[in-house]
C-alpha cells in the first residue's frame, strides 16, 4: 500500500537517496504502446537537480533505464520496471544527520516509526523518490494524450507573495518552459527568480503555489463517493514532498460567494453540454464534467536552510544543527513535473476504471 | 474501490436518497470492543437534517440498526453491518429533476458516467450517503479514544467572511456543541447563525471552513510515500460532499514565510520530543510527530438555491430550473461530525497499519 | 479484505447465522443492467436449506431484498445492497456449543483468533454466509450470459465412491436440476440419493466432488502471474465452507502422463484457434484460451454428525459433545449454486479487468 | 494486482526471460530485520537452472542484488528492491517461437490477451519470473522463523507413479536436500531420478506432486470468509507455473470417509488444545488451529518436449513445431523452493493481519 499508487494503472516506487538507486514498477499499462527511454527522459530532466541556478546543485544525470515490460519498442502489458542510479552521493555532507534530527524534516518521524533510518541524504525521505513517479507519469501522460486527447500542464503560480497572472484554459507548455522557474507570466517569472536567488544567497528558502490543469478530460471520469476525482487528485498532490494544501476550482476562495453566485450554469450547444463558468474546476460530484480540471497545490518553503537551528539528537538531548547538504532554495520549479506526473497517474487510472465499469463490452 | 474507504479498518457505504435506506459495512474492526447502537446514534443525531433551524428541514430520525458483527454487546471481529431507513422521501418535490440537471450538482456527471441516474432526492449524490461514514466513524472514534487516548474534534471555523477565534489545542467538545452552528467562539457563532438564517430566508446559501484536530496521536502513524497521513486526510476530506479544499498546519498561509521562519524547532524534555511551534500540523514526512494534527476543509455554498437558474435537460436542450426540494442554507454544522468521522477512519486505519508493520510480535 | 472478494466487480458479505440477517454489497456492477429480485431468488432457492429430503431441514425462505443500487428495474452503477432475514433461529439447539468446541468446525479457531465467538448457529461460520455470494453470483452470471455469452454450470460429480459420468462440454442445466442431488447422470444420481439418505438416517455425513464448467469464455481472460484464472478460481472454491481441494483440467490425474501425452495440440479452422484436447482446462499460462474451463472441487463430509464425539470446552477441559442442530448429511447439492456463483464472480471480474487494460478506448 | 501478491507483506515481481533481468519489490517488511544478500542467495540457488543433471541446463548464476530498503545490514521498513540479471539469453534458440505457438504453453493466450508477446525465452511466461518470489519468500521465511518459530518445508512427494513415504510432521530440511530431486525418502528418490533422467534422454517430461508443510503456526492465523488460509495457500500454489491442483489435509482423499471417520477430535493437555488426528491439515474454518499445516500441489509434466508437435502460427495457419530451447524434464526439484516461498509469503501476510486486527495495542 504505502509505496503503491493507483488501482488499475499502478505504480510502486522504491529507493533511498544514497542506496543503489531509485526506481518504479508500473503495473497495468495497456499493451502495444510505443515506449522507449526517450519518452521518459525529458520529464526526468525537468525534475533533475542541477538544471538551473535556482534549484538544488546536486549532480545527477538521472538517466533512466527500462528493465522490463517492453519488446521491440512497445509495451507488453507486463510490468514496466524502470530505474535510475544514484551518482552524487556525498554521505560525508550528512554525518551530522547521523545523530541529529533536522527540523521540519522527516528524520525524527521515521525514527519514531521504524526505529531505524537511512540518514545519508535523508534516505527514502529524499525527493529522489519522486523520480519513479515522474517516470511513470510520463507514460501516463503519453496514454492520455494519444488515446484520449487529454493535455496536462502545471506551472508556478505564486512564489511567496509574488503572484502570476495565468489563464489555465489557454496556457501553453512552451510558455511554461520559457523560464527556469516554470512560470508562464514572464515579467512575474523574473521577479520570482530574483527572489529565489536572494534566498539561495542568504541560505534561506521560499515556498508557493503550483497550479495544475488537465484539458480535454471527457465527462464521466471519477467515482461518486470516496474515489472522487478531486479526492484522488488531492491525495496525489498531498503525497508530494513539502506540499501543505490543495484546492480545486473556486477552492478556498469560493467560500466568499453565495450559492447563487457560485453555481456554474449549464448551457447546451449543438448537442454538447458545458458550463458558462467553471468554479467547479471541471468536477461535479466527484466526476469530470468535460470542462478543464484545474487546482492549486501549496508547497511550504524547503526545510533545509543553511543556518544553525535548535533540534534534538537520537538520544533525545537538546542540540543544534547546521545542515551542510545541497541547498535547494525553492522546490517549485522541480515540483512542476511532479504535479503533472501525479495528475496523469490519477487520470489514467480513472480512465481505465471508467472503461472497465461503464465502457462497451 | 469507489465505495470503500480504508485498508485495514475498511468501510463500504451503500444507498440512495430515496431507496430503501442507506448503510455501511465495517470490515476489520478489532474484536471484543463494547458496541451497541447507543455508541453510534449520538453522532448520527449531530449529522441529521432537521436538528436546528439553520439546516435542511428534511424529517429523518436516522435511527441506526446494527445487523451483524456484534454478540452480547461486543464486536466479533466480523463485518459490522449498519443501516438507517429512509423515511421522508418526497419524490414529488423532485419531479423537475427527473429531466433537468441542477447546476453545480452531480446530476449531469452521473448521467454522463453511468447513462442512468436515480433522480429522486439526488439518488446516491445525496448527503445521506455520509450516514454510513458517520456511523463507522463513531466506532473508529471509540477505538481511538479507548485504545490510544486520541481525541478528535471538528468545529466551524469560518462562515463566508465571518472567522472564529479558536485554539485547536485546547478547544472542548461541549464548547462546540454549545451553539447550533458548532462554532466554539460563541459571539462569532451568533453572527454565523444570523448570516445563515438570512440565507435561508432569501433562498440562498453560504459556505466556509471546518477545522479538524486530533490530539494525542502518538509519533509514528502514517506512511512515508503515497499514504502520508496528510494525503489520506486530504483525500478523506475532499471525498465529502461540497468540499473544495484542504490544508494542514501552516497550509496555504505558510507560503508567505521563509524556511527559517517556517521550520518547527525540536525540543526534548524528560525523554520526550516535541516541537516548540506546530506549523507542520503534527505531521512530518507523512508521519505523525506527536503534536496535535490540525487541518482545514473548505466547503462551497450548497448548490441547491431556491431561485430559477439556467441549465440543460437530459435531451441537452437549454432550459431553466427552480429547485423545490428542502433548502439547506449551510452545510457546515452538519459537516462537523462528517469531518470528525473521516478523521477517525483515517487515523484508526493507520494505527492498525503501524501495529502490523512496526508493532511487537 | 477478509470479507471482500474481487477487484473490479467486488462483493462484501456480512452476517451471522442467528443475527438480524445476512447480506452482501456488490460494488462495481456495470450500470443499466436490468435487475430485480426475480433475477436473484432462483439461485437462492437452489442454495436454500429445506429444499429436499437430503439437505439440512432448517426452515428459511431466504427471500432476498434489494436495498440500493437499482432504479426503475435497472442497475445504477452504484453499490447494490441485498439482504435476507434470518427466520429459523433456534439458539436453544446450540446451547451446548456455547461452551464446547464442535470437532472439525471453526468454533475453536474463531475463539483462538478473536477471543470471542457468536456460538448460536455457528455465527459467521454458518453456511448462511454464502447467501450473499450466491445473490451476487446471480448478477455476475447474468452479465456473463448477456454481455459475453458465457454459460456457467456446476453439478455433483462424485459422492463418496459413487462417480457420475458427465461430459462438461455438453451437459445442460435442466439435466442437473432433474435430480435433488444435482447430478445430471440420472442412474448415478439415484445411487447418490440413496447413500445420502442412509447417512441422514444414521446421523452421519458424506462428501464428494462438485465439477464446474464455464463455456464460451473468450481467449484472453486472466492475468499472467499471481492472478491467473485458475489461481483465482482455486481461491474462490477453497473459500467455500467444507472444501478441501481444487484441480483444473487434467488436474491431479494429469501427473500420470508424460509431457508428450499431456500437451494439447493447437489447430486452426477458419481463422479460429482451438485445441484438439483440453487437458489445460481452458487455461494456459493463467489466461483463457477459448476452450471450456472446467475444474473439480473436493468437499469433505459435513462435520456436524449426530453422534457423541470427544472435544474440549472453552476452559480447555476435555469433554464430549453431541450436536443437536439440524443435520445436513451432504453439502454437495447446495454447494452446486455456490460453485457456480464463485465461478461467475471470478470470471466477471477478469472480464472487466481485460476490458480495462486491453480493451479499445 | 496482476503482478502483486499479498496485502500487508506485499511483493510485486517484474521481468521477462530475455530482458535486462527479473526482480521484485517487497513492501511492508518489518524494520530492523537483519538482511543481506546472503539470506536470499541460498534459496535462489535451490531454484536455479543448471543445479543438477535432472533440471534445465540454462546457465544462470542468478546472483541477487539488494538495491534498496536496507541500511547497514538491516531492513528500513521501506521497499526492498531486489534483482537478478539475465545472463544466458539465447534468442536464436527460440526463433521458431517468434511465429508459432508452443502447445500447452502461454504463447497463444498472451497473444490473444495482449496482442503482442515477447517470444524470446517465453518472455514473462518463463519460470524466471519465480526468482522474485523465491527472493521475497526467503525474507518471509526468515521473519516467520525468527519472530514466530514457524518452519516451512516442501519436498517432492510423487513423480508420475512413484510415490514417496514421508511424514510431514517430522521431515527435516537436510533429508530433503540430500537428493537432487528433493525427495527425503532416499530409495524412492533414486527411482525418481532414474525416471527423470530417462525423460531427459527421450526428450519427454514428467510431473508429480510437491507436498508442503508449515510447523509451529500458532492458532488464529487466517481469515474467516474469503481469505481463508487454505484459500490463500491454494491461490499461491495455483499461481506457480505448471501447477494444476491443490488440496489440503485429507484433501481429495478425504471424500471417501464419512463425517464420523473424518472429524478430528479435540484434546486438551496442560492448557493447550490440539487434535488427535489432523485431517483438517491444521486449518479449520479458514483459520489455523495450531497443528501442522500441510498440503499437496500437482504439477503437470513440463510442456516443452523435444518432439515435433502440431500447432498453429500467429497467422492462425496450421503448422508443426519442434522446440530447441533448454529441455527441463521435470519441474519438481526446482518447484520445491517455490512452494516454500509462496507458503511463507501467505503465512507472513496473515501473521501481520492477525497482529493488526487482533493483536494487543
CB contact under 8 Å between D14 and A76, yes or no, is no
Largest distance between two CA atoms of chain B: 71
Cβ-proximal residues to B173 (8 Å cutoff; 6+ apart), any chain: B153
Rounded average pLDDT over C91-96: 75
Q: Which residue in D32, D116, D123 has the most chain A C-beta atoms within 10 A of its own C-beta, making it the best mutation to test that interface? A: D116
CB contact under 8 Å between B147 and D8, yes or no, is no
Residue of C nearest to A7 (CA): C7
Which among D68, D117, D124 has the least Cβ separation from residue A14? Answer: D68
DSSP state string for A119-167: -GGGGGGSGGGHHHHHHHHHHHHHHIIIII--EEEEEEEEETTEE----
Cβ-proximal residues to C134 (8 Å cutoff; 6+ apart), any chain: C43, C44, C46, C47, C337, C338, C341
CB contact under 8 Å between B109 and A220, yes or no, is yes
Q: Which residues of A touch B104 (CB under 8 A)?
A: 262-264, 279-280, 284
Rounded CA separation C79/C67 (Å): 10
CB contact under 8 Å between C258 and D199, yes or no, is yes
Q: Are A289 and B108 in contact (CB under 8 A)?
A: yes
Q: Which residues of B touch C15 (CB under 8 A)?
A: 67-68, 79, 81
Q: Is C112 on the interface with D (CB under 8 A)?
A: yes
Neighbour count for residue C92 (Cβ, 10 Å): 8
The alpha carbon dihedral of C57, C61, C67, C73 has a sign of positive
CB contact under 8 Å between B118 and C2, yes or no, is no
Residue of C nearest to B70 (CA): C118
CB contact under 8 Å between B3 and C32, yes or no, is no
User: What pLDDT sits at residue C1?
Assistant: 66
Rounded CA separation D213/D176 (Å): 13
Rounded CA separation D318/C273 (Å): 9
Q: Which of D341, D356, D359, D361 is nearest to D11 (CA)?
A: D341
**Collapsing DSSP states into helix, strand and coil, what is residue D183?**
coil
Residues 215-234 in C contacting D (C-alpha not used; CB under 8 Å): 219-228, 230-234
Which among D219, D258, D268 has the least Cβ separation from residue C301? Answer: D258
Rounded CA separation D8/A282 (Å): 36
Which among B77, B224, B358 has the least Cβ separation from residue D78? Answer: B224
Residues 277-316 in C contacting D (C-alpha not used; CB under 8 Å): 279-281, 283-290, 298-305, 307, 309-312, 316
pLDDT at C20 over 90: no
DSSP state string for A310-323: EEEBTTS-EEEE--
DSSP, res C340? H
Q: Which of A149, C324, C70, A97 is nearest to B18 (CA)?
A: C70
pTM beyond 0.95: yes
Neighbour count for residue D305 (Cβ, 10 Å): 26
Angle D179-D23-A114 (CA atoms, 0-180°, nearest 5)? 105
Query: What end-to-end distance do the CA atoms of chain D give, in Å?
Result: 30
User: What pLDDT sits at residue D30?
Assistant: 98
Q: Which residue in A238, A251, A299, A346 has the most chain B C-beta atoms within 10 A of its own C-beta, making it the best mutation to test that interface? A: A238
Q: Which of A207, A212, A272 is nearest to A244 (CA)?
A: A207
Chains B, C: CB pairs < 8 Å = 149
Q: Which residues of B203-224 are buried (b: 16+ CB within 10 A; e: fewer)?
A: bbbbbbbbbbbbbebebbbbbb
Which among C10, C14, C113 has the least Cβ separation from residue B69? Answer: C14
Backbone angles phi, psi at B94, to 5 degrees: -120, 10
Rounded CA separation D178/D155 (Å): 11
Residue of B nearest to A355 (CA): B113
A43, B176, D354 from B171: Cα distances, Å: 46, 8, 37
User: What pLDDT sits at residue D234?
Assistant: 98
Backbone angles phi, psi at D240, to 5 degrees: -80, 145
Q: Which residues of B touch D29 (CB under 8 A)?
A: 357
The stretches in chain B having pLDDT less than 50 are none
Q: Which residues of A touch B124 (CB under 8 A)?
A: 224-225
Q: What is the CA radius of gyration of chain A?
A: 21
Q: Which residues of D touch A20 (CB under 8 A)?
A: 65-68
Q: Are A102 and A123 in contact (CB under 8 A)?
A: no
Residue of C nearest to A354 (CA): C356
Q: Are C303 and C345 in contact (CB under 8 A)?
A: no
Q: Is D86 on the interface with A (CB under 8 A)?
A: no
**Collapsing DSSP states into helix, strand and coil, what is residue D167?**
coil
Go through chain C and tell me how many residues it has: 361
Q: Is A14 on the interface with D (CB under 8 A)?
A: yes
Q: Is B38 on the interface with A (CB under 8 A)?
A: no
CA of C101, closest CA in chain B: separation in Å? Answer: 17
Q: Which of D302, D313, D304, D316 is nearest to D101 (CA)?
A: D313
Q: Going residue by residue through chain A (361 aa), what tens digit of pLDDT does each one get? A: 689 999 999 999 999 998 889 999 999 999 999 999 999 999 999 999 999 999 988 888 999 999 999 999 999 999 999 999 998 777 677 788 899 999 999 999 999 999 999 998 889 999 999 999 999 999 999 999 999 999 999 999 999 999 999 999 999 999 999 999 999 999 999 999 999 999 999 999 999 999 999 999 999 999 999 999 999 999 999 999 999 999 999 999 999 999 999 999 999 999 899 999 999 999 999 999 999 999 999 999 999 999 999 999 999 999 999 877 678 999 999 999 999 999 999 999 999 999 999 998 7
Neighbour count for residue B119 (Cβ, 10 Å): 25
User: What pLDDT sits at residue C19?
Assistant: 82
Rounded CA separation A257/A270 (Å): 31
Q: Which residues of B touch D348 (CB under 8 A)?
A: none
CB contact under 8 Å between D1 and C13, yes or no, is no
Q: Which residues of D touch B29 (CB under 8 A)?
A: 357
DSSP alpha helix (H) spans, D239-269? 259-262
Rounded CA separation B320/A33 (Å): 45
Q: Is C28 on the interface with B (CB under 8 A)?
A: yes
CA of C175, closest CA in chain B: separation in Å? Answer: 38
CA of B116, closest CA in chain C: separation in Å? Answer: 6
Which among C1, C12, C80 has the least Cβ separation from residue B25? Answer: C12
CB contact under 8 Å between D21 and A78, yes or no, is no
CA of A232, closest CA in chain C: separation in Å? Answer: 18
Q: Is C129 on the interface with B (CB under 8 A)?
A: no
User: What pLDDT sits at residue A1?
Assistant: 66
Q: Which residues of C touch A29 (CB under 8 A)?
A: 357
Cβ-proximal residues to C9 (8 Å cutoff; 6+ apart), any chain: C26, C28, C29, C140, C143, C345, C348, C349, C352
CB contact under 8 Å between C147 and A357, yes or no, is no
ipTM value: 0.98
Q: Are D11 and D83 in contact (CB under 8 A)?
A: no
Summarised one tens digit per residue, pLDDT across range C304-323 is: 999 999 999 999 999 999 87
Q: Which of D218, D252, D216, D220 is nearest to D234 (CA)?
A: D252
Rounded CA separation C255/C265 (Å): 18
Rounded CA separation C3/A15 (Å): 34
Q: Which residue in C4, C15, C25, C31 has the most chain B C-beta atoms within 10 A of its own C-beta, making it the best mutation to test that interface? A: C25
Rounded CA separation C75/B14 (Å): 13
Q: Which of A5, A51, A3, A7 is nearest to A235 (CA)?
A: A5
Q: Is C200 on the interface with B (CB under 8 A)?
A: no
Residue of A nearest to C27 (CA): A357
Query: What end-to-end distance do the CA atoms of chain C give, in Å?
Result: 30
User: What residues pair up with C335 in beta bridges, in sequence order?
Assistant: none
Which among C103, C110, C271 has the least Cβ separation from residue D264? Answer: C103
Q: Which of B98, B149, B100, B137 is nearest to B120 (CA)?
A: B98
Summarised one tens digit per residue, pLDDT across range C252-278 is: 999 999 999 999 999 999 989 999 999
Backbone angles phi, psi at A234, to 5 degrees: -60, -45
Please tell me which chains touch D, using 3 or more CB pairs under 8 Å as the contact test. A, B, C
CA B338 to chain centre: 3
Cβ-proximal residues to C317 (8 Å cutoff; 6+ apart), any chain: D268
CATH says B4-358 is which class?
A: alpha beta
Q: Which of D268, D277, D261 is nearest to C319 (CA)?
A: D268
Q: Name the band, by pLDDT with cuts 50, 70 and 90, for residue C94.
A: confident
Chains A, D: CB pairs < 8 Å = 149
Residues 231-270 in A contacting D (C-alpha not used; CB under 8 Å): none
**Collapsing DSSP states into helix, strand and coil, what is residue C44?**
helix
CA of C37, closest CA in chain B: separation in Å? Answer: 14
Dihedral angle over CA of B3, B7, B9, B12, nearest 10: 10
Q: Are A68 and D16 in contact (CB under 8 A)?
A: yes
Which among C74, C78, C83 has the least Cβ separation from residue B16? Answer: C78
A224, B164, B241 from B167: Cα distances, Å: 34, 10, 26
Go through chain D and tell me how many residues it has: 361
Q: Which residues of B touch A129 (CB under 8 A)?
A: 225
Amino acid at each position: 500500500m504505502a509505496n503503491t499508487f493507483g488501482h488499475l494503472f499502478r505504480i510502486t516506487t522504491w529507493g533511498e537517496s544514497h542506496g543503489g538507486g531509485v526506481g518504479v514498477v508500473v503495473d497495468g499499462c495497456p499493451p502495444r504502446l510505443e515506449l522507449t527511454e526517450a519518452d521518459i527522459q525529458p520529464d526526468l530532466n525537468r525534475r533533475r537537480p542541477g538544471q538551473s541556478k535556482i534549484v538544488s546543485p546536486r549532480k545527477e544525470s538521472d538517466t533512466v533505464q527500462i528493465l522490463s515490460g517492453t519488446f521491440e519498442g512497445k509495451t507488453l502489458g507486463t510490468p514496466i520496471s524502470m530505474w535510475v542510479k544514484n551518482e552524487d552521493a556525498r554521505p560525508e555532507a550528512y554525518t551530522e544527520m547521523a545523530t541529529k534530527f533536522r527540523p521540519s524534516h522527516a528524520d525524527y518521524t521515521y525514527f519514531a516509526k521504524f526505529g531505524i533510518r537511512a540518514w545519508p541524504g535523508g534516505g527514502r525521505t529524499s525527493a529522489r523518490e519522486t523520480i519513479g513517479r515522474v517516470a511513470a507519469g510520463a507514460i501516463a501522460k503519453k496514454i492520455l494524450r494519444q488515446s484520449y486527447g487529454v493535455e496536462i500542464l502545471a506551472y508556478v503560480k505564486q512564489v511567496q507573495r509574488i503572484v502570476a497572472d495565468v489563464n489555465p484554459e489557454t496556457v501553453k507548455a512552451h510558455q511554461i518552459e520559457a523560464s527556469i522557474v516554470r512560470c508562464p507570466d514572464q515579467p512575474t517569472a523574473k521577479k520570482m527568480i530574483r527572489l529565489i536567488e536572494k534566498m539561495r544567497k542568504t541560505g534561506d528558502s521560499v515556498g508557493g503555489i503550483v497550479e495544475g490543469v488537465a484539458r480535454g478530460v471527457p465527462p464521466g471520469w471519477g467515482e461518486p463517493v470516496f474515489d472522487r476525482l478531486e479526492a484522488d487528485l488531492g491525495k496525489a498532490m498531498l503525497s508530494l514532498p513539502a506540499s501543505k494544501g490543495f484546492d480545486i476550482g473556486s477552492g478556498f476562495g469560493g467560500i466568499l460567494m453565495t450559492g447563487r453566485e457560485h453555481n456554474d450554469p449549464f448551457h447546451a450547444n449543438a448537442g454538447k453540454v458545458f458550463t458558462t463558468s467553471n468554479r467547479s474546476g471541471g468536477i461535479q460530484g466527484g466526476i469530470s464534467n468535460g470542462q478543464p480540471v484545474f487546482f492549486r497545490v501549496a508547497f511550504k518553503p524547503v526545510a533545509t536552510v543553511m543556518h544553525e537551528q535548535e533540534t534534538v539528537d537520537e538520544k533525545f538531548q537538546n542540540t543544534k544543527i547546521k545542515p551542510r547538504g545541497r541547498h535547494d532554495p525553492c522546490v517549485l520549479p522541480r515540483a512542476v513535473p511532479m504535479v503533472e506526473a501525479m495528475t496523469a497517474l490519477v487520470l489514467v487510472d480513472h480512465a481505465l476504471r471508467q472503461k472497465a465499469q461503464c465502457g462497451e463490452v
